[in-house]
Amino acid sequence: MRMVDLIEKKRDGEELTTEEIGFFIEQYTNGNIPDYQVSALLMAIYFQDMTDRERADLTLAMVESGDQIDLSEIEGIKVDKHSTGGVGDTTTLVLGPLVAACGVPVAKMSGRGLGHTGGTIDKLEAIEGFHVELTTEQFTKQVNELKLAVIGQSGNLTPADKKLYALRDVTGTVNSIPLIASSIMSKKIAAGADAIVLDVKTGEGAFMKSVEDARSLARAMVQIGNNVGRQTMAIISDMSQPLGFAIGNSLEVKEAIDTLRGKGPADLTELCLVLGSQMVVVGGKAKDLDEARAMLREVIENGSAIEILKGFIEGQGGNPAVVDSPELLPQAQFTFEVPAKESGYVSCIEADEVGTAAMLLGAGRATKDSVIDLAVGIVLHKKVGDAVKEGESLATIHSNSENIENVLAILHKYIEFSKEPTTAPNLIEEIITQ
């Protein structure tokens, strides 16, 4: 088989066979095909697209390029949740204990944040002593006993995706539905999930800015998952403004704890109930979404979700006392209010800009090697649709530096006002099951 023939075939809009896709992924991973040929093929895929069959084959070939996590020692249907990335997105910290309390095993592999989006592992590491370096045996044992464990990404998971993503990044081929969908799904499948619930974000803070693009990506991923035998569904949710109020690692842990006690922000709570209901049904613990939602509300009210959170923190070396005393989490030295310059209604809070402001405070990574400050971040007091009086605080900045002029400027610029009443964006745009 010659790579140049595959490039010409795709360039001319023809379909690649399973063998051809397997060849290119295997040989590229092994270093036997040069970057320039793969770049040409990626650009051809960018323009010519891939059929459903090609997408499923590409995903499976990437899964097979490295380690696959075997979760068969864990009893029950393992349901994984994946978000395409947002600002202040604390759902994983809430959903883990919530769904586990309903009896669905959550065996989660998570990553760190980059740029204006946060990562679950960074947030968990705000808890003193918490670590994600578990052996497979420890991981399996904790999920069987407690229904919840989080492990760091294995080094050799989907090496083909790592190489391809780096190449796409410098060849203008990141933004391609078949390439994004196969990239995300290959990692979820290699991580061992039986079923996958996807939270595809849309809006300014998201990878997919328009609902149409988010829908195409969601459909592509659902199709791939179901074609390779993993039950998959997706919801499309709003990321035009940050989720909840808190953005920043410690601040989001506290927000997750509040939400698990039934005292969280309305949008974060609702998103967790929608995603959680899907997970509980797919996990076989409820017959329909209504029953699942009632179960989720019950484990919040009777405190069992909070108990799971404590056990989970303790099981992974952390201090469970933070759950009852969140002031034990790292605290920033200074806080500053952001007073409204005029009265009116909040019309827009640009999520990516607020995420960048939190990153400038030190809550996120500008580059892969940046060291983050777990204490700092932003807590919003207003969301889109809220009425505001001049001088009222829009947000509190938690900082370890007194020099916050740039952060203040971003918040004043991107928390926008209208004289006329505004309405909050739709939190859930759509649910896609096939």
Give the residue numbers annotated as catalytic, written as ranges.
Answer: 82, 161, 168, 183, 187
- Interaction partner, residue 62 (Ca ion, ligand URA, none; CB < 5-8 Å by kind): none
Min dist CB 180 to ligand URA, Å, is 4
Residue 175 near residue 168 (C-beta atoms within 8 A): no
Q: Both tokens of residue 74?
A: 């864990």
Min dist CB 219 to ligand URA, Å, is 16
Query: CB under 8 Å, gap of 24 or more: what pairs does 270-274 form?
Result: 270/427, 270/428, 271/91, 271/199, 271/237, 271/243, 271/427, 271/428, 272/91, 272/94, 272/95, 272/98, 272/296, 273/297, 274/235, 274/237, 274/428, 274/431
Nearer to ligand URA, 46 or 130 (CB): 46
Number of chain residues interacting with ligand URA (CB under 6 A): 6
Please tell me whether residue 206 binds ligand URA under the rule CB under 6 A. no
Q: What are phi and psi of 261, to 5 degrees?
A: -95, 0
Q: What are phi and psi of 257, to 5 degrees?
A: -60, -45
- Interaction partner, residue 244 (Ca ion, ligand URA, none; CB < 5-8 Å by kind): Ca ion
Please tell me whether residue 244 binds Ca ion under the rule CB under 5 A. yes
HSE-up of 110 (CA within 13 Å, CB side)? 29
Residues 6 or more apart whose CB falls under 8 angstroms from that of 292 comprise 102, 276, 277, 278, 280, 281, 285, 286
- Interaction partner, residue 193 (Ca ion, ligand URA, none; CB < 5-8 Å by kind): none
Rule CB under 6 A: choose which of 16, 21, 180, 281 binds ligand URA. 180
Binding piece for ligand URA, criterion CB under 6 A, among 120-128, 175-183, 277-285, 308-316: 175-183
Q: Both tokens of residue 257?
A: 């704890």
Rule CB under 5 A: choose which of 90, 176, 183, 186 binds Ca ion. 90
Rule CB under 6 A: choose which of 61, 71, 107, 184 binds ligand URA. 184
Nearest residue to ligand URA on Cβ basis: 183
Please tell me whether residue 246 binds Ca ion under the rule CB under 5 A. yes
Please tell me whether residue 183 binds ligand URA under the rule CB under 6 A. yes
Please tell me whether residue 239 binds ligand URA under the rule CB under 6 A. no
Residue 98 near residue 276 (C-beta atoms within 8 A): yes
For 105, the 3-state DSSP assignment is: coil
Q: Report which DSSP code applies to 76.
A: S
Min dist CB 12 to ligand URA, Å, is 25
**Footprint of Ca ion on this chain (CB under 5 A)?**
88, 90, 244, 246
**Footprint of ligand URA on this chain (CB under 6 A)?**
165, 179-180, 183-184, 207
